[in-house]
Amino acid sequence: MHQVSAKEKWSYGVGAMGQNLVYGLMTFLLMVFYTDVLGISAVFVGTLFLLVRIWDALLDPVIAVIVDRIHTRWGKFRPFILAGGILVSILTVLCLYAPDFSPAMKITYVIITYALWNTAYALFDVPFWSLAPAMTSDPIERTKVIAIAKMLGIIGGVVAGGASLPIINAIGNGNASKGYFWTAVIFAALCILFTIILFRNTKEHIYEVKPEHESLKASLNVVLKNKPLLILTLAGLFTGTSLILKQTVTLYYVRYNLGNEGLFTAFSLSSMLFMLLAIGIMPRISAKFGKKKTFIAGGIICITANVLFFFGQSDQILFLFAMNAISMFGVGFSIVLAASMQADTIEYAQWKTGKRSESIVTAVGTFNGKIGTAIAGAVAGYGLTLFDYSPNVTQSDTALTGINLMMSIIPAMGIVLSIVIISFYDLSEKKYAEIVADLKA
């Protein structure tokens, strides 16, 4: 089994950081930008997020099949990562630009740029996470590669969540449109730089030539026979929905429930740092207790903290900070382990069907993540409308309660469902080792 060099591991992680800089910027701020800066209704934004992200998710398997069929001198995945990273960076800037258009033209611009952004992100994301399994088949090495990528990715999210609003306010100086645009330019430039570092310093060490005639149907058949992957997909759907929903409404919560937008940076930083802590200690814990048990334990921590968060009062700032951070600590285990466990199912698929199909297996993981993101965006948009949210004014008690529910109880319910589903996952470390040995025989 190939041992991945430190340079490769950290270069891959730097690429994840760049990816999360733009993804985090869009996740944390795009809905607020649309509703509070462009003046678009929350229900329209929720519908847009739902429909476009479903399109994005459906696109993933198609991109996966294309990637699996194309081989270049630079490998299968790295050229797509480079092209996708550059495209998604440019489109991030366009998405966070406020054009001086009529209302109808503004809506058209938003639909087109957001749809293109999601298409470009699919081109970036599917090969990105397909690269990790192609770097090594050693489960311990693979977990380290993914853990570093997730850790640096979280740092990218920390910067996006913690630094973006101060940068927007500093650059904009009262002009929100200007602040959002130039902040997007800065983050996009960093994403392109970090993607180039990944492209130059990583290699694909596990290489399988695909028959050119392999159809989408044949590739999907690999998925349908992969029971562990299907279980992970469903569990990941609820985990991802819960996480993205919290991130989407965080700025609304600190701005209206706590009445202090300035807390957004500290609120986001504290939660992301606790997630980083979880990612840092996760490999040792999962090595001792197993991935499945660690996943469930993290979920229980997250649920408990979210429920306690709901009952916190607006003047109990430290308590609210702590509960939010602890909930993110818990979900940090689940996020990394889901990616590592998903990578393990690639060898399971190869053992079961004779086809490795990294991209299609990875696409299933990104598919459910994007469906979760679509649901989270819709819940946020429809929830704000249902609870009578109005932008840039003092909110009613109903609106404040709704925002609180979307920050705590609703995400907790999603994590409960993910734990129930993951309990049926049966690809243990022992079974995986036997499969790898059998494949090498």
Please, is 97 exposed, middle or buried when counting C-beta atoms within 10 Å of its C-beta (0-12, 13-18, 19+)? middle
> What is the rounded CA–CA span in Å between residue 373 and residue 54?
9
Whether residue 242 contacts residue 417, with contact meaning beta carbons closer than 8 Å, is answered with no
Cβ burial, residue 343 (10 Å; 0-12/13-18/19+): buried
Report the alpha-carbon distance of residue 286 to residue 283 in Å, rounded. 5
Q: How far apart are CA 59 and CA 49, in angstroms?
A: 15
What is the dotted CATH code of the domain comprising 6-202+215-440? 1.20.1250.20
- Tell me how long the chain is: 441
Taking the model in full, what pTM does it have? 0.75
Amino acid identity for residue 441 in this structure: A
A 10 A CB-CB count for 151 gives 22
pLDDT of res. 1: 54
Per-residue model confidence (pLDDT) at position 135: 85
pLDDT at residue 51 in the model = 92
What tens-digit pLDDT sequence spans the chain (441 residues)? 567 888 999 999 999 999 999 999 998 889 999 999 999 998 999 899 999 988 888 887 788 778 877 777 788 889 999 999 999 999 999 999 999 899 899 999 999 999 999 999 989 988 898 888 788 877 778 778 888 898 899 889 888 878 898 999 999 998 999 999 999 999 999 999 999 999 999 988 765 545 445 566 766 777 778 889 889 888 988 998 998 899 889 989 999 999 998 888 888 888 888 988 887 888 788 888 989 999 999 999 999 999 999 999 989 999 999 999 999 999 888 887 887 788 788 888 888 877 766 667 777 777 777 788 889 889 999 999 999 888 878 889 999 999 999 999 999 999 999 999 999 998 888 888 888 888 886
Domain ranges of the chain: 6-202+215-440
Query: Smallest Cα–Cα separation from 34: which of 24, 44, 21?
Result: 44
> What is the pLDDT at residue 208?
55
